[in-house]
Amino acid sequence: MLGKLIFLFLNENRISGQVPQQIGNLKNLKLLDLSRNELTGQIPHTIWNLTQLTTLNLFYNILTGSIPPEIGNLTALQTLDISINELSGELPHTLSQLESLQTFILSTNHFSSMIPKTFGRNMSLISVSFSDNNFSGWLPPGLCNNFLLEYFTADGNNFTGSLPECLKNCSRLTRVGVQGNKLTGDISSALGVHPNLDYINLGRNQFSGELSQNWWDYKELTNFRMDGNRISGGLPAQIRRLKNLKVLTLSSNKLTGSIPAELSYLTSMSRLNLSGNRLDGDIPSGLGKLTDLEVLDLSNNLLTGNIPTEVGHSARLAVLNLSNNILSGEIPSELGNLTSLQIYLDISHNALSGTIPRDLGNLILLEALDLSHNALSGQIPPTLSQMLSLLSVDVSYNNLTGPIPAGPAFRKSGSRPFLGNPGLCGDAEGLPSCNPINPGERSTEHPKNTKRHKNLVIPIVVPIAGLLVIIIFVVGTMIFLRTTKGSREEFVSTKRSKSFESLAWEREGKFTFNDIVKGTDNFNEMYCIGKGEFGIIYKAMLQTGQVVAVKQLNVSNLSDILEISHRSFLNEIQILTDVRHKNIVKLYGFYSKKGCIYLVYDFVERGSLGKVLHKDAEGRLLDWATRIKIIQGVANAIAYLHHDCSPSIVHQDISIDNVMLDERNTARLSGFGKASLLNSDSSNGIVATGSYGYKAPELAYAMKVIEKCDVYSFGVVVLEVIMGRHPGELVSSISSSEYQDQKLKDILDQRLQAPTDQLAEEVVFVVRLALACTRTDPESRPTMFVIAHELSTHIQAFLPEPLDAITMKKLTNF
C-alpha cells in the first residue's frame, strides 16, 4: 500500500529521532517534506534511491553528516531545501546531474570547501542560497547559464575571486546578497542590466573600482549595500534616478569628492550611511528634505562647514552621527526639533564652537549624547536635565564651565564624560562642588509635569536570510468596493488570465487554484477552521500532501473599502507577493472567482499566540525567555513591513490572535485582512480599522492610518504576553494613582515564577517598551525601526532596585 505513496508531508510535527532507512521503500514518492521537526542523525542513504522525487524539504532540523554522490540519482528533483541543519562536508560533483533543479537552498549549515564548478551549468536555477556556511574558492561560473536566476545569496562564507561573469546576463535578478566574504574584482563591470533588482548587498568584501553607471538604472532598487569594500571615486548626480531607494549603505570605503545634493531627490530614503570614507565639502542642506530618514551617518569623513539647520527637518531621525569630521560653527538649535532621536546623537571630534543649545533638552527620547572633543564653551544648559531617557553622555574636552545638569546620566556617570573641562562642577564623582553662594546657577530641578518618555532596549536577532512572504488580505479586496458590476466582472476576467495566475503562484506555490478546490472538496464546510469579519478560513490538504490555509473573502460584505484602479491593484499584489520575512506567515497567492476573493497562505499548525497563551496548561509552557523571543519576532515582522517594504505596509490589525506560533514558538505575523499599502497615492484615504482592545485611541477621531497605529497595537500585545491576559484598563489608566502605585510583579503572569537576574532585567525593559508604545500621543511613540534596532542590540542592565519594589510609576517616570 505505502509503496504507491506519491506525497509524504510531515512537516511541523515535532518529530524527533532519525529518519528511518525504510523510507527508501517508497519508490513512487514525488514529494517528501520533513521540514520543521527535530530530526537528528544523517540523511538515510536510501533517500537517494527515490528517483521520482521532485521536491525534497528537510530544512529546519538537526541533521548531520554530508551529502553523498548518490544525490545525482535524483534527476527529476526540482526543489531541494536542506537549510538550517548541522550538515557538513563538501558538495558532490554529481549535483550537476540534477538538470531539472530550480530551487537549491542549503543556507545555515557547516558545508565547506569549494562548490563544484559544474554546478548550475545545465540547470534551470531560479533560487539559490549558499549563505552562512564555510564555503571557499570561487562561486560557480554557471549559476545563470539559463538566464532564469532570480534569487541568489551566498553571504557569510569565505568565497574568493570575482562575481560570476554570467550574473551580468541574469536580467530576472531581484535579489543578490554576497556580503561577508573575501570577493575581489572591479565592481564597476561586475553586474549588467537588471530591471527587476530590488535588493543588492555586496558588503564586507574586497571589491574595488568605482560605482557603475549601470546601477543608476535599477529603477526598482530599494536596498543598496556595499559597505566595507575598497570602492573609490565619487557619488554621481545620477543617483537621483533611484527613486525607490530606501537604504543606501556605502560606509568604510574609499569614496572621495562631495556628497551630491541630488540625494535630496530620494524622498523614500530611511537609512543613509556614508561613514568611513574620504568625502569632503559641506553637508548638503537638501538632506533635510528626506522626511522619512531614520538613520543618517556621515561620520569619519573630511566634511567641513556648518551643520545645516535643515537637518532639523528630518523629523523621523532616530540616529544622527556626524562625528570625526572637520565641521565648524555652532550646533544649530534646530537639532532640538529632532524629537524622534533615540539611539544616539554624536557630533564629537569636530571643531564646533559656541554654546550647547538649550533646545537639545527637547530630545526626551535620546539615550546617548556625545559632544566631546570640540571647542564648545559656556554652561551646559539646565534644560538637558529634561532628557530623562539619557543613559550615556560625553562632553569631555571642550571649554565648558559651571554646574552640570541634575539628570541621572550626568550625576551617575563619573568624571570621565567631563574631562578636559576644568570649569565644570557639580554632583558627580570626580567633580568639584559648585559654589554654594550661587545656588541659583543650579536650577536644574525636574519640572513638576515632566513625564518620562523612555523607550526600551531588549535583545533580538534580526537576521537577514530572507525568503518567506506574505501579507495582503484586504489590499486584495480593495479594488472591489464601490465598483460597478461591469468593472467588477472585467477585473475578475483579468485575474483569471494566465498571466495573473502566474503572478500569484509562480514563485513558491507549486499548485493551482484547482488543487485548492479539490483539497477542500469545493470549499466544503467540513474543511472550515474559522470564520471572521471578512470571510471564512479553510484548511486545504493538497494532493502533494502540503497543507495551506485559504481565506475566502466575499466581495458583497466589503462595501466599506475604497475603490482602487485595476492597474494600481495589480501593482500592489505584485509588491505584496514579494514580501519575505521569517516572522511573517507566507502568502502563496491570490485568485478571484464568482464574486469571491481567495487568499492562500501557509498553514501554521499550532495556531495563534492567543489560543496558546490563554490556555492554562499551554500558557505555563511559555516561560519568560520564550515570551521575550516571541516579542522580538513580532517586532521584527512589523519593522520589516514599515521600513523594508516599498511602499510601506501598515498591518492595521496587530493583535494576540494574529500572531501565530510554529512548533519552535517562533512568532509569525498573520491576519492581513485589513492591511494597506502606505504611499503618497493611497495613505490619505485608508479606512481606519483594527481589533477592539488593540486599536490606537486616535482612530476614534482620525481616519488616516499611520504606522504609529501598529506601534500602539504592538505595545498592547507585548503587555498581554507579559501579563498572560489582556491589559484592559491598564493602558488607558496608567497615569491614575491606582495603577501608578501598582507593583510590576503583581501584573506579571502569575502562572510563572517571577523572573530573576538577566531575565528580570529583560522583562522590566519590555514592559517599559510597551508603555512607550501605548502613549496617547502618536508622535511620542517610537517607530518600529527604532524598536527593532534596540532589540537587536545587547540589552542594557536596568534594574534600579529589586523587582518586588518596582512600581508602574517608576517605569513610566524614569
Confidence of residue 185 (pLDDT cuts 50, 70, 90): very high
Segment 50-58 shows an average pLDDT of 95
Examine the pLDDT at 448 and tell me if it is beyond 80.
no
| Predicted pLDDT at 569 | 43
Q: Tell me the C-alpha distance between 340 and 789, whole Å.
A: 14
Note the pLDDT tens digit of each residue in 459-498. 322 332 332 333 333 333 333 333 333 333 333 333 333 3
Residue appearing with cell numbers 505584496: 576
| Predicted pLDDT at 136 | 95
Between the ranges 47-51, 495-499, 787-791, where is the mean pLDDT highest? Answer: 47-51
The CB density around residue 70, as the number of other CB atoms within 10 Å, is: 14
Q: Tell me the C-alpha distance between 266 and 252, whole Å.
A: 22
Examine the pLDDT at 554 and tell me if it is beyond 50.
yes
| Predicted pLDDT at 686 | 44
| Predicted pLDDT at 443 | 38
| Predicted pLDDT at 343 | 83
| Predicted pLDDT at 809 | 75
| Predicted pLDDT at 188 | 87
Segment 531-557 shows an average pLDDT of 73
551 in a known ligand binding site: yes
10 Å CB burial of residue 183 (0-12, 13-18, 19+) is buried
Angle (CA) 616-740-765 rounded to 5° is: 65
Examine the pLDDT at 216 and tell me if it is beyond 70.
yes
Segment 416-443 shows an average pLDDT of 75
Segment 523-551 shows an average pLDDT of 79
Domain ranges, ordered by start, for the chain: 475-813
Nearest to 588, CA basis, from 575, 604, 600:
600
Segment 784-803 shows an average pLDDT of 67
Residue appearing with cell numbers 515570551: 627
Q: Among 499-503, 567-571, 713-717, which is the least confidently predicted range?
A: 499-503
| Predicted pLDDT at 757 | 80
Segment 654-675 shows an average pLDDT of 82
Name the residue type at position 358. Answer: R
Task: Calculate what percentage of the chain has a pLDDT beyond 90.
Answer: 45
Examine the pLDDT at 301 and tell me if it is beyond 80.
yes
Segment 97-115 shows an average pLDDT of 93
Residue 653 is a catalytic residue: yes
DSSP letter, residue 614: H
Q: Give one DSSP letter per residue of 647-688, joined into a string.
A: SEEE-S---GGGEEE-TT--EEE--GGG-EEESTTTGGGPPP
Confidence of residue 630 (pLDDT cuts 50, 70, 90): very high
**28 or 452, greater pLDDT:** 28
Task: Calculate what percentage of the chain has a pLDDT beyond 70.
Answer: 80
Examine the pLDDT at 803 and tell me if it is beyond 70.
yes
Strands (E) in 473-543, as ranges, are 528-532, 535-541
Strands (E) in 38-153, as ranges, are 38-42, 55-57, 62-64, 79-81, 88-89, 103-105, 110-114, 127-129, 134-137, 151-153
- Distant-in-sequence, close-in-space partners of 182: CB < 8 Å, separation ≥ 6: 158, 159, 160, 205, 206
| Predicted pLDDT at 17 | 93
Q: Confirm if 25 and 1 have CB atoms less than 8 A apart.
A: no
| Predicted pLDDT at 581 | 82
| This prediction's pTM | 0.59
Q: Confirm if 300 and 326 have CB atoms less than 8 A apart.
A: no
**681 or 449, greater pLDDT:** 681
Residue appearing with cell numbers 517616570: 813
Note the pLDDT tens digit of each residue in 733-749. 665 556 677 888 888 99
Residue appearing with cell numbers 497563551: 613
Confidence of residue 429 (pLDDT cuts 50, 70, 90): confident
Q: Tell me the C-alpha distance between 611 and 614, whole Å.
A: 6
Q: Give one DSSP letter per residue of 186-246, joined into a string.
A: BGGGT----TT--EEE--SS--BSB--GGGGG-TT--EEE--SS--BS---GGGGG-TT--
Segment 294-320 shows an average pLDDT of 94
Among residues 81, 297, 359, 653, the one annotated as catalytic is: 653
Q: Confirm if 331 and 347 have CB atoms less than 8 A apart.
A: yes
| Predicted pLDDT at 472 | 34
Mean pLDDT (the chain) is 81
Q: Confirm if 661 and 609 have CB atoms less than 8 A apart.
A: yes
H helix intervals, 375-496: 408-411, 475-478, 485-496
- Distant-in-sequence, close-in-space partners of 42: CB < 8 Å, separation ≥ 6: 18, 63, 64, 65
Note the pLDDT tens digit of each residue in 762-781. 888 888 888 888 888 888 88
Examine the pLDDT at 687 and tell me if it is beyond 50.
no
| Predicted pLDDT at 98 | 94
Q: Among 107-121, 347-361, 596-610, which is the least confidently predicted range?
A: 596-610
CATH of domain 475-813: 1.10.510.10
Q: Confirm if 426 and 442 have CB atoms less than 8 A apart.
A: yes
Segment 648-656 shows an average pLDDT of 86
Confidence of residue 362 (pLDDT cuts 50, 70, 90): very high
Bond prior to 647 in cis (omega within 30° of 0): yes
Note the pLDDT tens digit of each residue in 224-272. 999 999 999 999 999 999 999 999 999 999 999 999 999 999 999 999 9
